[in-house]
Structure 1
Amino acid sequence: MGNLLVGGKSIPTDDEGYLVNFADWTKEVAEVIAKEEGIENLTDRHWLVIEFMQKEFKEHGSGPSIRKLTKESGVSTKELYELFPKGPAKKAAKIAGIKKPVGCV
């Protein structure tokens, strides 16, 4: 277990840095996690993916697979890797405040 410090508040994370409680997520939390993941600025395209990830999580209890993400979010695989280098589904899930998608190692 770890903690993420955002605006003077300590937010619990698991050993891989994913939020323990989705209710702790805010846009400020997302921006802090993004910076830790090497993404300096979240653009409208980042937010499109983040919001899609959260919608899937709320509806199904887990984040979408990379395949579903590319088919239904309106963002191509190539763009996903540009937006979230080195593991877009895992990185987008972490920034979105949800659990690591099933099947991601």
Structure 2
Amino acid sequence: MPTATYAGTEVPVTDEGFFTDPAYWTEQMAPEIARESGIDPLTAEHWKVIEFMRSEYAEKGTGPTVRALGRTSGVSIKDLYRLFPKGPAKLAAKIAGIPKPRGCI
């Protein structure tokens, strides 16, 4: 299984770089994952989405789709694409340290 090192901690990830166990994630890792994905710096808006993604995963066992994220996170779909340009649900999930949401390609 592949691993990645963030904030000095080695974590197991999928071939696409998603955490296999969200329990390994820490807030200190998020800026490194974001930079690796072309987002720097993380703003308060980014953190709102990241925290929402983690909360949804904890509650439902999967991250929300882009539509659900736009409807329920308090951030519009247009803003989601501005914040996470290469696929909001997928990229936000990666930065939030949760598995890739169902339905993301």
Counterparts of 1:6-45 in structure 2, within 5 Å, are 6-45=6-45
Task: Kindly provide the CA deviation profile for residues 44-74 of structure 1, in whole angstroms up to 9, marking residues without a partner as x.
Answer: 0000001111111011000011111000111
Partner of 1:100: 100
Partner of 1:52: 52
Asked if 1:4 corresponds to 2:4, the answer is: yes
| Structure 1: runs of 5 or more not aligned | none
Provide the TM-score with structure 2 as the length reference: 0.95
Other structure's SS at 2:4 match: strand
Aligned equivalents of 1:63 and 1:51: distance in 2? 11
Other structure's SS at 1:5 match: strand
What is the identity percentage for the equivalent residue pairs of Structure 1 and Structure 2? 54
Aligned-residue Cα RMSD (Å) equals 1.0
Aligned equivalents of 1:70 and 1:44: distance in 2? 17
What amino acid sits opposite 2:99 in the alignment?
K
Partner of 1:80: 80
Q: Count matched residues.
A: 105
| Structure 2: runs of 5 or more not aligned | none
* 4+ aligned runs moved over 6 Å, structure 1: none
What amino acid sits opposite 1:94 in the alignment?
K
Other structure's SS at 1:28 match: coil
Aligned equivalents of 1:93 and 1:7: distance in 2? 18
